[in-house]
């Protein structure tokens, strides 16, 4: 209605041919007034409709983009993880970047400490003499040992920070807490080992073996860092402690160092790398990925939980959870 009236007026002005400036000015003024009025009315009516439509379009756009990026990422992961593209087994991200970086710092520190620490403990061995000759004397070796110690202390402190501040850290921590099921799993495992049962215990994200490894490191960190700092800053510690406390620290440092070394070399290395299934190396600590088969075999409960959560995840458009074991297919 308004549009028509405005058009009619406009036309009549042109037809009459009156072109004196005053009239033109008047016409212009009227037109602007009408247009302003119209715009006002239009916006009142259309704004919501336009906004609603834009919103819908944008949402659609975002959805399609997310889908595209997701597809691209999946394709990339698949091609990276799969040796034979036609087989293209599905893989799962087991250890996030953050998680793996902590492990790298931890194991490089530990190896440094072990390599420089064992010759101190077994100082009578000829190999120790060879080692000290190689690195340029005991003074050099002790400096390297302290560099390793700084790495260990750093990763220990960072891990506590990670447990508190990262959602992934909190989730992993909860999954690592020991629970009664672990004891049952252990006995089921024994039955399986001895052939009394053909069924392996069904583990979640972390088996009791992995939980043992994790909590053993806490014990080791407390003993090694505590006694190590006492010996590193011996003069300061002896200001407050008797000499036999330093002797105890030294004994504990030496003995726990050996225990940790043995546990890592035999237990951890066998379970992770050297067992016939993964020999000579499990690449998960490098890539963070494990195959679907391994996932189903070693972490069936986690696998099932992930699979069960998938359709729900598709309906809800935004599942950006920080879970490190985010399933991808």
234 contributes a contact to other proteins by CB under 8 A: yes
184 contributes a contact to other proteins by CB under 8 A: no
Q: Kindly state the tokens that stand for 321.
A: 């959870």
Q: Which range of residues in 92-100, 104-112, 132-140, 165-173 is near other proteins by CB under 8 A?
A: 132-140
Q: Which of 29, 41, 57, 247 binds other proteins (CB under 8 A)?
A: 247
161 contributes a contact to other proteins by CB under 8 A: no
Q: How far is the CB of 111 from other proteins (least distance, A)?
A: 20
301 contributes a contact to other proteins by CB under 8 A: no
Q: Kindly state the tokens that stand for 62.
A: 């975002």
Q: Which range of residues in 36-44, 107-115, 176-184, 255-263 is near other proteins by CB under 8 A?
A: 255-263
Contact 61, 294 (CB under 8 A): no
Nearer to other proteins, 60 or 247 (CB): 247
248 contributes a contact to other proteins by CB under 8 A: yes
Alpha-carbon gap, residue 270 to 268, rounded angstroms: 5
Q: How far is the CB of 105 from other proteins (least distance, A)?
A: 25
SS3 233: coil
Q: Which range of residues in 48-56, 60-68, 196-204, 310-318 is near other proteins by CB under 8 A?
A: 196-204
CA 227, 231, 233, 236 dihedral sign is: positive
144 contributes a contact to other proteins by CB under 8 A: no
**CA neighbor of 107 nearest in space, from 151, 172, 150:** 151
Q: Which of 259, 281, 286, 301 binds other proteins (CB under 8 A)?
A: 259
Contact 95, 288 (CB under 8 A): yes
Nearer to other proteins, 35 or 251 (CB): 251
Contact 233, 225 (CB under 8 A): no
Nearer to other proteins, 63 or 236 (CB): 236
Contact 92, 328 (CB under 8 A): yes
Nearer to other proteins, 125 or 286 (CB): 125
Q: Which of 41, 45, 293, 321 binds other proteins (CB under 8 A)?
A: 293
């Amino acid at each position: 209605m308004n549009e028509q009236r405005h058009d009619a007026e406009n036309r009549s002005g042109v037809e009459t041919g009156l072109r004196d400036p005053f009239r033109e000015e008047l016409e212009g003024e009227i037109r602007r007034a009408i247009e302003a009025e119209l715009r006002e009315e239009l916006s009142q009516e259309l704004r919501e409709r336009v906004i609603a439509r834009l919103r819908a379009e944008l949402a659609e756009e975002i959805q399609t983009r997310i889908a595209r990026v997701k597809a691209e990422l999946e394709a990339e992961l698949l091609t990276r993880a799969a040796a034979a593209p036609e087989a293209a087994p599905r893989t799962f991200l087991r250890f996030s970047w953050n998680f793996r970086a902590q492990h790298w710092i931890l194991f490089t520190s530990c190896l440094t400490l072990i390599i420089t620490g064992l010759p101190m403990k077994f100082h009578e061995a000829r190999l120790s003499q060879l080692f000290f000759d190689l690195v340029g004397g005991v003074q050099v070796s002790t400096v390297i040992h302290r560099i390793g110690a700084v790495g260990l202390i750093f990763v220990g402190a960072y891990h506590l920070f990670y447990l508190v501040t990262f959602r992934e850290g909190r989730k992993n921590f909860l999954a690592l807490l020991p629970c009664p099921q672990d004891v049952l799993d252990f006995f089921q495992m024994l039955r399986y080992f001895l052939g009394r049962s053909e069924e392996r215990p069904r583990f979640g994200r972390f088996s009791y073996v992995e939980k043992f490894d994790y909590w053993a490191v806490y014990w080791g960190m407390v003993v090694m860092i505590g006694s190590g700092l006492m010996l590193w800053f011996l003069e300061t510690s002896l200001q407050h402690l008797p000499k036999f406390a330093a002797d105890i620290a030294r004994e504990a440092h030496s003995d726990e160092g050996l225990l940790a070394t043995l546990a890592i070399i035999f237990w951890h290395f066998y379970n992770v790398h050297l067992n016939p299934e993964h020999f000579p190396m499990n690449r998960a600590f490098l890539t963070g990925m494990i195959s679907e088969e391994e996932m189903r075999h070693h972490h069936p409960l986690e696998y099932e939980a992930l699979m069960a959560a998938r359709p729900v995840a598709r309906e809800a458009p935004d599942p950006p959870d920080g879970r490190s074991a985010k399933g991808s297919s």
